[in-house]
Structure 1
Amino acid sequence: MRAITIPDSGGPDALVPTDVPTPAAGRGEVLIEVVAAGVNRADVMQRRGLYDPPPGASSYPGLEVSGRVAALGEGVDSFAVGDEVCALLEGGGYAEEVAVPVGQVLPKPADVDLVDAAGLPEVVCTVWSNVFMTANIQPGQWLLVHGGSSGIGTMAIQLAKAVGAHVAVTAGTAEKLDFCRDLGADILVNYRDEDFVEKLREGNHDHGADVILDNIGAKYLSRNVDALAINGRLVTIGLQGGRRAELDLGTLLAKRAAVIATTLRSRPAAEKAAIVAAVREHVWPLIEAGVVRPVIHSRHALDRAADAHREMEASTHMGKILLLTA
């Protein structure tokens, strides 16, 4: 089969289409014939040599796919060969086939194109696990999403609005902010020339954010804490703005607030299965009802993965970037 390998870390051209052995479905696994794979910031970091796969995971990039079940491993009876599915991966999605633990496989939602379904697993599981399962956002509360026009951002806006929360977002252009508004965002902040702490306070009567979903890290840490409401929860899921920063514990104590840092890729399979099960129970009905949808920016052929990474690094996209195997 064809897969995208990374013989040496580097720029987008470090992604090399290669003929590799086809995986087999082990016990408790599903072999998926991949139709499309989602491109994520973690893939870019892996290509640069900054984010190694967990032990035992495929060395090929790719954390989510859609496709058809090609084979079932021993002990799997919840899917059948030919079923249309999508799946959350530890790696290996940039390939024509991939073996996945059955607990991380989801049926393709009704009325969602099979290709577009590749843009769902990573973002939905990330948003649901962090904003809902960890931060426990409630109807009427405020969510601040940094990078509102990203794949994760567009899903966070939709899911928060679907449960009756209010949403503030940051983004770097007027076009991206308009896109976020169309998805339901209430407060729009251009981070290039506006202060999100001030804009949030102005927009929601000095309440602040009950939950912040942050992919920046150190650069925004102190301002995120300033933006939190009383009993607020800051959930950091990325380090695009660095790893180290000072934190004023006095401000955190005064607000009775929490700072939480999480990752999804390195979690044990049992935890991922629990997240996927929660997504299937709570989010899949919203998608099938048309309340929430995958937001797809562009599609590239698998062999043109380098172009997809260039597009992601240019940060011009709004929604998900996909790779197609055919």
Structure 2
Amino acid sequence: MRAVSGSESLSVTTVPDPTTGPGEVIIDVAAAGVNRADLMQRQGKYPPPPGASDILGLEVSGRIAEIGAEVTGWSVGDEVCALLAGGGYAERVAVPAPQVLPVPAGVDLVSAAALPEVACTVMSNVILTGGLAAGDLFLVHGGSSGIGTHAIQVAHAIGARVATTARTEAKRDRCRELGADIVIDYTAEDFADIVTAEGGAEVILDLLGAKYLERNVDALGTGGRLVIIGMQGGIKAELNIAKLLTKRAAVFGTTLRARPVDGPDGKGEIVAATHRHTWPLIESGQVMPIVDRVFSLDDVEAAHAHLDGGDAIGKVLLSVGADTDRDG
């Protein structure tokens, strides 16, 4: 599934099967996650990193079909999900073994495709970078998104207080069900005023970037950490350094896709931390994949339109090799 350019650029085509390099496995794909990064890539705004497949798709679930040299701990037939730099909208994909996770107990194979990108994003940015801990106030924007629904659950499970923003009543209700303590209608309320009245946030996870920078800094408490992981609201804004210094606060900008597999802060390290800390929360039922709808791969245009329309709550998935089209 390659994107050439523009909103009508997706096409299904035949390409050679991937081959396993040292340290890689081949996965027969059951399902792939649809992420906003895929929409940006098809528009030419988010090219894959050097060496990555130009086929869309940053996460999959499926079964291991082949194991390359130097890979240990996996067997052919294992049900897994995986974080990718690209290539997920396909029947088969080659993945570095450190980026592969077992399907958590109690999660079906298709729904497992909703986990790798959001779980690793939240682990990397909220826990490892942001240092969220029990008793902290955590603000996540876009609480009904794939990342938002997962972040709310993880933060609630570790004992943090959770504030979030959401546009519609249905989305706000779902955020409350998932564990959000403070749910803000950002179309009618000022999130910074509300969070400041609660003492300010220790950690803020922001996908919008420039648009929210000033108000995010206002919403930080003393020693707070703002972690910016998206640019949907623009790339340039003024930062009031005096306000940041007064609060002894920090602003982090991070990305996951372009990181190396190995080494400090690499994807392998993040995946391992996710397996250690988040998988037990999933298997105990404290955190679950939130799937809005599953489309077949042939309906990828409809899947992208659904995600881009802004009505999805949780993840949108593509079922690969099956005629599946269901609501979550």
SS of 1:235 mapped into structure 2: strand
1:256: Cα distance to partner? 0.1
1:56: Cα distance to partner? 0.3
1:77: Cα distance to partner? 2.1
Letter in 2 for 1:298: R
Structure 2 match to 1:189: 184
Structure 2 match to 1:294: 289
Structure 2 match to 1:211: 203
Moved over 6 A (4+): none
1:286: Cα distance to partner? 0.9
Structure 1 match to 2:96: 101
Q: Among 235, 238, 249, which residue is 1:243 paired with?
A: 235
1:57 aligns with 2:52: yes
CA distance in 2, matches of 1:189, 1:21: 48
Equivalent pair of 2:27/2:62 in contact (CA under 8 Å): yes
CA distance in 1, matches of 2:196, 2:201: 9
Pairwise mapping of residues 102-117 of structure 1 onto structure 2 (< 5 A)? Answer: 102-117=97-112
Q: TM-score, normalised by structure 2?
A: 0.96
Letter in 2 for 1:125: C
SS of 2:13 mapped into structure 1: strand
1:223 aligns with 2:215: yes
SS of 1:291 mapped into structure 2: coil
Give the stretch that moved more between structures: 13-22 or 293-302. Answer: 13-22
1:9 aligns with 2:38: no
CA distance in 2, matches of 1:201, 1:276: 33
Structure 1 match to 2:260: 268
Equivalent pair of 2:196/2:221 in contact (CA under 8 Å): no
Q: Among 111, 132, 156, which residue is 2:151 paired with?
A: 156
Structure 2 match to 1:169: 164
1:193: Cα distance to partner? 1.4
CA distance in 1, matches of 2:156, 2:286: 10
SS of 1:254 mapped into structure 2: helix
1:191: Cα distance to partner? 1.0
1:92: Cα distance to partner? 0.2
1:78: Cα distance to partner? 1.1
Equivalent pair of 2:207/2:228 in contact (CA under 8 Å): yes
Deviations 1:68-109 (A, max 9, x none): 000001111211000000000000000000000000000111
Deviations 1:131-151 (A, max 9, x none): 000010111000000000000
1:198: Cα distance to partner? 1.4
Structure 2 match to 1:69: 64
**How many pairs align?**
318
CA distance in 2, matches of 1:166, 1:322: 29
Equivalent pair of 2:27/2:94 in contact (CA under 8 Å): yes
Pairwise mapping of residues 271-286 of structure 1 onto structure 2 (< 5 A)? Answer: 271-286=266-281
Letter in 2 for 1:155: H
Q: TM-score, normalised by structure 1?
A: 0.97
1:324: Cα distance to partner? 0.5
1:312 aligns with 2:304: no
- What stretches of structure 1 of length at least 5 have no aligned partner? none
CA distance in 1, matches of 2:133, 2:102: 27
Equivalent pair of 2:122/2:151 in contact (CA under 8 Å): yes
SS of 1:273 mapped into structure 2: helix
Structure 2 match to 1:41: 36
Deviations 1:244-266 (A, max 9, x none): 00010000000000000000000
SS of 1:269 mapped into structure 2: coil
* Identity in percent: 58
- What stretches of structure 2 of length at least 5 have no aligned partner? 323-328
CA distance in 1, matches of 2:174, 2:195: 19
CA distance in 1, matches of 2:151, 2:140: 7
Letter in 1 for 2:6: G
CA distance in 2, matches of 1:109, 1:312: 25
Letter in 1 for 2:212: Y
SS of 1:118 mapped into structure 2: helix
CA distance in 1, matches of 2:130, 2:183: 22
CA distance in 1, matches of 2:25, 2:298: 24
